Amino acid sequence: MRAILVPVELPDWAWQRAEVRQSLRVRDIGAVFRYVQQYGGASQARIATAVGMTQARVNEIINERREVTRLDVYERLADGLSMPDDARHLLGLAAAREARSGGAVFDLAAFPEVVRVYSTQAAATEEIRQLTRAAKELDVLAVRGLGLIGLNDSLLRSSLAREDGFSPRVRVLLLDPEAPALAKRAAEIGESAESLAGGVRLAEARLRELSSEGEVHVYRYRLLPTWRIIRLDSIMFVSAFDAGWEGHESAIYKVMETPHGPLYRGFRRMFEAIADEGNRTV
């Protein structure tokens, strides 16, 4: 029988404090628990009862010996700590009323497409590089791609050289330097269109060099960039472009291929459609 959780109640003003809101934005659950202790007077045992964990696990999180990364656990924490809707949104969750009024809801623990969430690309760098060293297929959807695969010290390129000499199939989608969307994206990030277009062309030139060592396909697309994708066989790392940040600054979602999961399949389908409509340059 599942234990009955007794939520912790914090005063409304506590959720509005800048330090609490920042800890939610970066998903620092250890800090959140510490603020719950500070502003709600809750013990570790009380927090554990509220969020459905053991006291030992809460202690590990508070003392930064363990991280929380699963979305279903974030949801349980939000419920157990009685988070208001704006706090839930900062954590990347739907409002409580939305979660409870939308019909059937899947338990993400039993439907694990999104298996990890990183605050930025830097936090995911080591895992991405390890997976790149073993991948048979590599797909990249980017704007110019220099930091991902265009330069020798970029995230992916440095991991493509292997001792066994095997080269994965590489496909890269880059924003067309002549597309109106490029000028709009340049304005969003405070860069000149000439500079951004030059970065795309440099990436293409460097990828053309890489094509002499293996199968490399490069395509230009003309849509305003929204999603940034790295696919390594059956694993994707997905982040977003927005007016307020670049793709490497966005939270990154690690998405696994599952038999019935829509996210991996949907992003894969989108990639293939963009490639089919794109102009191949390499």
Q: Is 70 helix (H, G, I), strand (E, B) or coil?
A: coil
From the number of C-beta atoms within 10 Å of its C-beta (0-12, 13-18, 19+), residue 157 rates as buried
CATH homologous superfamily of domain 121-280?
Answer: Endonuclease Chain A (3.30.870.10)
**What is the model's pLDDT at position 3?**
45
How many other CB atoms are there within 10 angstroms of residue 240's CB atom? 15
282 residues of the chain, pLDDT tens digit each:
344 567 888 888 999 888 998 899 889 999 999 999 999 999 999 999 999 899 999 999 999 999 998 888 888 899 999 898 888 888 887 777 544 544 444 444 445 688 788 888 999 999 999 999 999 999 999 999 999 999 999 999 888 876 666 788 999 999 999 999 999 999 999 999 999 999 999 999 999 998 888 899 999 999 999 999 999 999 999 999 988 788 888 889 999 887 777 899 999 999 999 999 999 999
Question: Is the separation of the CB atoms in 257 and 234 below 8 Å?
Answer: yes
From the number of C-beta atoms within 10 Å of its C-beta (0-12, 13-18, 19+), residue 148 rates as buried
Say which residue the tokens 């930025």 belong to.
120
Closest CA to 137 of 171, 173, 174: 171
Cα 132 vs. chain centroid, distance in angstroms? 17
**What is the model's pLDDT at position 107?**
47
Is CATH 1.10.260.40 the right assignment for the domain spanning 1-90?
A: yes
For 198, residues 6+ apart whose C-beta sits below 8 A from its C-beta are 177
**What is the model's pLDDT at position 175?**
97
Closest CA to 248 of 69, 120, 89: 120
Give Cα separations from 269 to 233, 247, 263, 272 (angstroms): 14, 20, 10, 5
For 227, residues 6+ apart whose C-beta sits below 8 A from its C-beta are 141, 238, 239, 240, 241, 267, 270
Q: Is 256 helix (H, G, I), strand (E, B) or coil?
A: strand
Give Cα separations from 61 to 47, 68, 279 (angstroms): 11, 8, 48
**What is the model's pLDDT at position 120?**
87
Question: Length of the chain in residues, anyone?
Answer: 282
Report the amino acid identity of residue 8: V
**Residue ranges of domains in the chain:** 1-90, 121-280
Question: Is the separation of the CB atoms in 282 and 208 below 8 Å?
Answer: yes
pTM of the full predicted structure? 0.63
CA angle, corner 105, sides to 103 and 106, nearest 5?
A: 155
Q: What is the CA radius of gyration of the chain?
A: 22
Q: Distance between CA 45 and CA 9 in Å, rounded?
A: 15
Closest CA to 57 of 89, 18, 98, 29: 29
**What is the model's pLDDT at position 103?**
46
